[in-house]
Amino acid sequence: MDLNNLEKVLEDEPRYRLKQARKAVFKNFISDWSEAIFFTKDLREKLNKECPLGIKADVLVSKREDSVKARITLKDNLQIESVLMKHLDGRNTVCVSSQVGCPLGCLFCATGRMGFKRNLTSDEIIEQVIFFNRWLKIDRHRVSIQAQRVTNVTYMGMGEPFLNYDNVLRAIRILNDKEYFDIGARLISVSTAGIIEAIKKFSEEGLQVNLAISLHAPNDKLRKSLMPIDKKYPLEAVLKAVDGYIKKTNRQVMFEYVFIKGVNDSDECARELAKLVKKPLYYVNLILYNATPSAGSGQAGIFKPSTSERVEKFKAILKKNKIVFSQRYRFGDDIQAACGQFVIHR
């Protein structure tokens, strides 16, 4: 897909033509200009040549059919992954990638172990949402239920969104724009490993977008051993930036905590975590560690998810300390589409 020339191709046409074209792409999710029958045949052909709408992707559907993974091939042949999660309550969440790979190298994360290739453009970010809107459009015909579209977007795919700040923000504004996707800001979430300058900048944007922080450990010693970025941005400084964000926006902040067996799931970790996050507008999202494909080197494959017994004990301590928390439902672990399982396949 390449819409860079859209305005240029339509510059000699009346202004409303551009609106029609945008509506066709971002509201009706056409995948070929031949579907835009309100344009002349010549114009449709010109648009197909100069603003192609095709998205190259391989698709995997989970056994429960509630999650779909797309491996999208970009113009330079690099690949990214995005996932659609269909919730029972009708929400359709797309988990988008913001980079090809990730430079931060968290030890538990498949993307982190693949290294970093490049940032995605804002077009490449929104292309992922377009892809699943088209998917849902066809899906709807198949099972003949109500019209479906992408309702929520989370930046929890490959990459660190706050290291690609400008493109991520540009994409958020397009997702939010009424003339484009019209997805409410409160239905968009950004997850970061804790890039302090970006958290500060994000506080100033005047957006109602949700912020999530990947915490995963209640102290620097442990966090550093899992997330190398903690050396540059230690916990205290990250939480200070988060407090600044809360002061400015008065919005809740979610702290993600992945349960890794024998690493961060002890009673002591729970007590330490409770102390750390016992603040207004903080809440914890607990995630079971998803096994990541063995990369055959270093730390790969050494982690395991915590037992459910351990998780329950951990949760009981949080409860006793009156910490607000939720546990994330696991989508798509059979198609390697769960958090931290995003990998580059070439």
Instruction: Check the CA dihedral 37-43-49-55 and report its sign.
Output: negative
User: Least separation, in Å, of the C-beta of 326 and ligand SF4?
Assistant: 19
Q: Verify binding: residue 306, ligand SAH, rule CB under 6 A.
A: no
Q: Verify binding: residue 263, ligand SAH, rule CB under 6 A.
A: no
Structure tokens at 196: 């302090």
Integer Cα distance of 299 and 310 in angstroms: 23
Residue whose entry in the numeric block shows the structure tokens 């994409």: 171
Structure tokens at 94: 């797309």
User: Is residue 106 annotated as part of the catalytic site, yes or no?
Assistant: no
Q: Verify binding: residue 160, ligand SF4, rule CB under 6 A.
A: yes
Paired strand residues for 254: 212, 283
User: Least separation, in Å, of the C-beta of 108 and ligand SAH?
Assistant: 5
The residue nearest ligand SF4 at its CB is 112
Integer Cα distance of 94 and 83 in angstroms: 6
The residue nearest ligand SAH at its CB is 340
User: Least separation, in Å, of the C-beta of 40 and ligand SF4?
Assistant: 46
Q: Which is nearer to ligand SF4, 86 or 223 (CB)?
A: 223
User: What DSSP element (H or E) covers 345?
Assistant: none
Q: Verify binding: residue 100, ligand SAH, rule CB under 6 A.
A: no
Integer Cα distance of 287 and 320 in angstroms: 19
Amino acid code (one letter) for 33: W
Binding mask 90-129 for ligand SF4 (x = CB under 6 A): ------------x-xxx--x-xx-----------------
Structure tokens at 320: 């006793």
Q: Which is nearer to ligand SF4, 109 or 344 (CB)?
A: 109
Structure tokens at 120: 């995605």
User: Least separation, in Å, of the C-beta of 219 and ligand SAH?
Assistant: 17
Catalytic residue among 51, 106, 269, 339: 339
Structure tokens at 133: 């809107």
Question: 76: which DSSP letter?
Answer: T
Among positions 195-224, residues that touch ligand SF4 (CB under 6 A) are: 214
Q: Which is nearer to ligand SF4, 161 or 218 (CB)?
A: 161
Q: Which is nearer to ligand SF4, 159 or 218 (CB)?
A: 159
313: CB partners within 8 A, 6+ apart = 267, 270
User: Least separation, in Å, of the C-beta of 249 and ligand SF4?
Assistant: 22
Instruction: Check the CA dihedral 183-185-191-196 and report its sign.
Output: positive
Give the residue numbers marked as catalytic: 81, 339
Residues that bind ligand SF4 (CB under 6 A): 102, 104-106, 109, 111-112, 159-160, 193, 214
Residues that bind ligand SAH (CB under 6 A): 108-109, 156, 160, 191-193, 214, 256, 258, 287, 289-290, 292, 339-340
